[in-house]
Structure 1
Amino acid sequence: MKTLGLIGGMSWESTAIYYRLLNEIVRERLGGLHSAKLLLWSFDFAEIAERQHHGDWDGAGALLADAARKLEAGGAQGLLLCTNTMHKLADQVQAAVSIPLIHIADATALAIKRAGMQRPALLATRFTMEQDFYKGRLAGKYGLSPVVPDAAGRAMVHGVIYDELCQGIVSEASKAAYVAEANRLRREEAADSLIMGCTEITMLIGPGDFDIPVFDTTRIHAEAAVEFALD
């Protein structure tokens, strides 16, 4: 089994889910007392979020690249950025190391393609919904046509992530708002599926809340990582 290096803490709420999923999936695959071989670098998310919201992506990228180098030096054989948004800096992180970065958007796109879907609704941070690093990869590399909420919807989805989920707050009102927004995208934008495109969203909604295919990026990323580790 290869050792996986996790760049986490963005937020720790979803990194804890990664840790659980990686170990559960390895146990399911191998049985008995098996668990995942993991190294974790966990950031103080306030330091990252401040750079995000001030547009200091170069500064954030330098921090992530340094963490990646330290994980590689510690024995990691593959890397996971335990966040969708910070895959904006995936190329910078990959360039800092010689071990592979398992890209969350690639794993998600492959799952969508396998399911035969084409036009997924994307709920995520404002950065992921508005910038091209994620949507553009889904479209350009995989031929998908992701759709996102309007400005008011994006503000709501983003606010719930940072003001609630990243702080461990799970609200029924916010869940209802997310479900309503996804249903609106299905009705008005012909979305045929849903990407839970922030790793914290799995705390709030899940496949049981919808009658269209739902792609949980946290689980999909963890499954792809275990495939790599056990290959």
Structure 2
Amino acid sequence: MMNNYKSSGNYSHRPLLRRLGLIGGLSWHSTLEYYIYLNQTINDHFGNNTNPPLVLVNLDQYTMHQLQQSDHWDVITEMLIEACDQLYQGGATAAMFCANTPHKVYHDVQAHSRIPILHIGDATGAAIRKKSLRKVGLIGTIFTMEEPFIAKILKDHYDIEVIVPDKKEDRKKLHMIIQKELSLGILKPETKKYILDQVAILATKGAEGIILGCTEFPLIVGQDDIKIPLFNTTMLHAQMGVDFILGI
């Protein structure tokens, strides 16, 4: 499948751009942020309304949450493998999970995917390294905070130590906020305050920066709310997608 238009008829020459596949719906609110960033940044790069070639597979978040809660990660893996295959069939030459939590099964999915999957941990680690930070706080779903699929790649590939909220009840509450509020587009002032309180506690424990390790968190908090560097995984991952599209 061609990714560019040749000079003919009424078409002017267009640059050859790589076709990127997005696995979205996890949630659609944050998928929209990816879509906006990818299109706007490519527009800005060319100084016109050139849009990137994208393919989207929109998964059912309700089903995904039910599978997570029942610990059926094998089924989630199969769903993501199938989604990658659909993207490949649609002409994509790389894929992205538009969320942090699916990276729990990244290696199993990548092993069966015919196209590379751009890892959100690499996008995040590279940004933290640029700031020369060695210890960062991480908030996300309970899977992202309690399992090593993000922290390990940061430690092994970028020599960055990751800390998370100490209390189980705080990790559970952050998880609930993501699934019951933010993924539904519910943004409460008291929720924002709770998240910022958790960030402040991590800062007192030595965090030099904070990873928003769920793509829904940037919907409610931003750098203006936090004094230490904030790493918005949605935007960092989306920029990684831009670089792929442009062949940077």
TM-score when normalising by structure 1: 0.97
- Determine if the alignment matches structure 1 residue 161 to structure 2 residue 178: yes
Equivalent pair of 1:122/1:195 in contact (CA under 8 Å)? yes
Distance in 2 of aligned mates of 1:30 and 1:58: 42
Distance in 2 of aligned mates of 1:28 and 1:170: 30
Distance in 2 of aligned mates of 1:54 and 1:156: 18
- Match runs of 1:67-82 below 5 Å: 67-82=83-98
Runs of 4 or more consecutive aligned structure 1 residues displaced over 2 Å after TM superposition: none
- Determine if the alignment matches structure 1 residue 136 to structure 2 residue 169: no
Give the alignment partner of residue 224 of structure 1, picking from 225, 237, 240. 240
Give the alignment partner of residue 50 of structure 1, picking from 66, 69, 89. 66
Match of 1:198 in 2: 214
Deviation at 1:48, TM superposition (A): 0.8
- Determine if the alignment matches structure 1 residue 115 to structure 2 residue 131: yes
Deviation at 1:97, TM superposition (A): 2.2
Specify every segment of 5 or more residues in structure 2 that has no aligned partner in the other structure, as ranges.
Answer: 1-16
Give the alignment partner of residue 231 of structure 2, picking from 208, 215, 220. 215
CA RMSD, aligned part only?
Answer: 0.9
Equivalent pair of 2:20/2:53 in contact (CA under 8 Å)? yes
Q: Identical aligned pairs, as a percentage?
A: 36
- Determine if the alignment matches structure 1 residue 85 to structure 2 residue 101: yes
Distance in 1 of aligned mates of 2:86 and 2:118: 17
Specify every segment of 5 or more residues in structure 1 that has no aligned partner in the other structure, as ranges.
Answer: none
Deviation at 1:90, TM superposition (A): 1.1
Amino acid at match of 2:148: D
Equivalent pair of 1:69/1:96 in contact (CA under 8 Å)? no
The alignment of Structure 1 onto Structure 2 pairs a total of residues equal to: 230
Which protein is bigger by CA-based radius of gyration?
2
Distance in 2 of aligned mates of 1:143 and 1:37: 35
Secondary structure at the aligned position of 1:133 is classed as: coil
Task: Identify, as 1 or 2, the structure richer in helix.
Answer: 1
Equivalent pair of 2:84/2:115 in contact (CA under 8 Å)? no
Match of 1:13 in 2: 29
Deviations 1:11-66 (A, max 9, x none): 11111111111111111111211112110000111111111111111110000000
TM-score when normalising by structure 2: 0.91
Equivalent pair of 1:8/1:43 in contact (CA under 8 Å)? yes
Match of 2:76 in 1: 60
